[in-house]
A and B are shown apart, each in its own frame.
Chain A
Amino acid sequence: MSCTGKRHILEIDELSVSFYQYENDHSSRQVELPVISRLSVSVHEGEIVAVVGSSGSGKSLLAHAILGMLPYNARVSGQMYFDGELLTAEKMKELRGNKIAFVPQSTTYLDPLMKVGEQVSQGRKNAARRQRQRSLFARYGLEKDVDNKYPFECSGGMTRRVLLTSALMDEPELIIADEPTPGMDLALAKKSMEDFRIFADEGHGVLLITHDIELALEVADRVAVFYAGTTIEEAPVADFASEETLRHPYTKALWRAMPQNGFVPLPGVQPYVKDMPQGCPFGPRCSMYSEKCQGDIPMQRVGCATVRCVQYKGEPLAVEAHHIHGETAPAPHHTKT
């Protein structure tokens, strides 16, 4: 089904995440805040897929949703498939840290009271794991004395590398990296991206969540553009060569906003979840906005890309069709585990 004909490692079909929150400090009424709505993205073997969106747009929650680690007041709907199998809450528990590795965003993700070497190898006694941790550290220029350092003794860049090595420890199938490079110098950022490349080329997948579109275009094979809680276009990197090969008006605007392409800013801001417009979330800022945009707009496959815009007539995504599970899978509804 996919353009490349490669095996799907991860497929996310119409994922929605919302939070239940008290309306305000004095109210006991809970309101539902949709933070991710009907997001679809897929990662094939050998691919780095970048999910690009502006800061604070809920990208990190995507990573948490795939790993089944959303807070208890979150509600999830939609399907996710890993290696063709439906990702249920149990399945996520089984896969995380094993087949799916996570490189978190912030340096607070390390236990402040445990030496980093021990944290990465997850135990002092296992000599083989110790060995592997040491060789991974060495690969990223972390000297032997770093093993015995506590997180507070490591610089930001060192901590990033520690987090990266922790993901590579268990030889996963898929790495989900949430903003893995800030704080690294250019050479190191390149190095870690090269490592993602090598990792992907070995037949694995990488889902790179970032706000840095230039970084994404440099290393990714495909880029999914995240806008107001959903993906509005997923296209091969080659399509970003010119404005014409791109599809969605927002992606085109994003392209024009890049320094080498004219540096033209797009007026307005992304809508906040509480006052999301009807239909297309980009509608209010779109020059081609019409009445058709107010309805329900499905993600459609156009050529090798997918896009969520009424201007295009493509075939439906039909994620379920290429899975062994023919039956309609139940929406995984899980709470914090």
Chain B
Amino acid sequence: MKHNLLFAGKNFIRMILLLAAVSVATFALVSASPIDPLQANVGQAALGSMSEAQKEKLRSYWGVDEPPVQRYLNWAKDALRGDFGTSLLYRQPVTSVIAVKLSNSLFLLVIAWIISGLLGFLLGVIAGVFRGRPADRLVKGYCLVIASTPAFWLALLLLLIFSVWLKVLPIGLSVPIGMEASGVTFLDRVRHAILPALTLSITGISNVALHTREKMIDIMESDYVLFAQARGEKAGSIVRRHALRNVLLPALTLQFASISEIIGGSVLVEQVFSYPGLGQAAVAAGTGSDVPLLMGITLITAAIVFLGNFIANLLYGVVDPRIRKGGRRT
């Protein structure tokens, strides 16, 4: 118990440090960007019609002329109190913008995460067990092709096929155009999520499958599988009793580690599908010099990725007897 608390405490401190580092890095990058926050947020035309005094007032209101370190400290002080500021683009508190965008994205991310995890694992196991046979070659071929395909290109391809040619799925956004929010059904949302989720899944599968395959091959060549064979266990029983059990642990790590890749991929994919999620908001915040929103989004995604890895570590301790019991002894 004490060991577990220590483990959780250590990881919590690590997460705080990580988030601090991420916020500094993001801030430094935004400060170094050539975008003029005034022009980006007020607009070229409006800015042109303003008097110098008005501009000066706006400048001091936003604190544009303060040194970056001072600005960062201002932000950090408020952030520590839970106030992440107001988004310049959406004119709403950053937290509520993120809440809306995240709930949109989460729908996509979770679907893609589950599908790519399950299918990737399944394909990886099949390829590993039937190494060198047609099934393996098929899976490997698929994975290598997909792994070398950019996600946005794949997204465009799917759009072209399903939305433009076949016209069976919507071309973008998360809800039908011109419909009242109250009239949007769950089915509408699902229909709009299919293509982006599919893109993310297809690209996610290859990574999971290739890693699982590699692990599976190691296991099938291990001494204990050989011994199981020597004891007369049939191939099916070996896979069920020994191989799956042993491949599940690395697969678990892989699954949680893939969160970061799916979130990363979603930035591009949401852009292609004009899907109003976190990824698209991140791009808008970056190009629009919406510093508070960008900071909020990077922090939340960093925290999600970190938590994913943390959960994997915790599950390892629960699932793997070597860690569970070994940790208890020392």
Contact = CB atoms under 8 A, between A and B. Distances in A.
Given A96-B232, A97-B232, A113-B245, A150 B227 contact: no
19 contacts: A69-B226, A96-B229, A96-B231, A101-B231, A108-B223, A108-B224, A110-B227, A111-B246, A112-B224, A112-B322, A113-B245, A113-B322, A114-B242, A114-B245, A122-B231, A122-B233, A150-B322, A150-B325, A152-B326
Contacts of B241: 111, 114
Interface string B232-251: 11000000011001100100
A113 B246 contact: yes
A102 interface: yes
A201 to B, nearest CB: 24
Contact of B321 (A64, A113, A166): A113
B: interface residue count bin: 20 to 34
Nearest to B326: A152
A109 B321 CA distance: 18
A97 B231 CA distance: 4
A69 B246 CA distance: 21
A69 B229 contact: yes
Contacts, number: 64
Contacts of B249: 113
A108 B219 CA distance: 12
B231 A110 contact: no
B233 A97 contact: yes
B218 to A, nearest CB: 12
B56 interface: no
B228 A111 contact: yes
What 6 A-B pairs are tightest by C-beta distance, nearest first? A97-B232, A97-B231, A109-B227, A102-B230, A108-B223, A111-B224
Contact of A111 (B229, B242, B322, B326): B242
A69 B322 contact: no
B36 interface: no
A245 interface: no
A296 interface: no
A102 B227 contact: yes
Given A109-B226, A122-B231, 5 more contacts: A104-B223, A104-B226, A104-B230, A111-B224, A113-B249
Contacts of B246: 111-113
Contacts of A85: none
A: interface residue count bin: 20 to 34
A35 interface: no
B227 A104 contact: yes
Interface of B: 222-224, 226-233, 241-242, 245-246, 249, 320-322, 325-326
Contacts of A69: 226, 229-230
Contacts of B227: 102, 104, 109-110
Interface in A144-160: 150, 152-153
A102 B322 CA distance: 26
A96 B224 contact: no
B223 A109 contact: yes
A154 to B, nearest CB: 12
Given A96-B231, A97-B231, A150 B321 contact: yes
B289 to A, nearest CB: 52
Given A150-B322, A152-B326, A110 B224 contact: yes
Nearest to B232: A97
Contacts of B326: 152
A102 B233 CA distance: 13
A32 B281 CA distance: 62
A200 interface: no
Contacts of B320: 113
A98 interface: yes
A110 B232 CA distance: 14
B67 to A, nearest CB: 57
A69 B232 CA distance: 11
Interface in A23-71: 64, 67, 69
Contacts of A110: 224, 227
A136 to B, nearest CB: 14
Given A108-B223, A109-B223, A166 B231 contact: yes
Nearest to A95: B232
Interface string A178-198: 000000000000000000000
A96 B322 contact: no
Nearest to B228: A111
Contacts of A101: 230-231
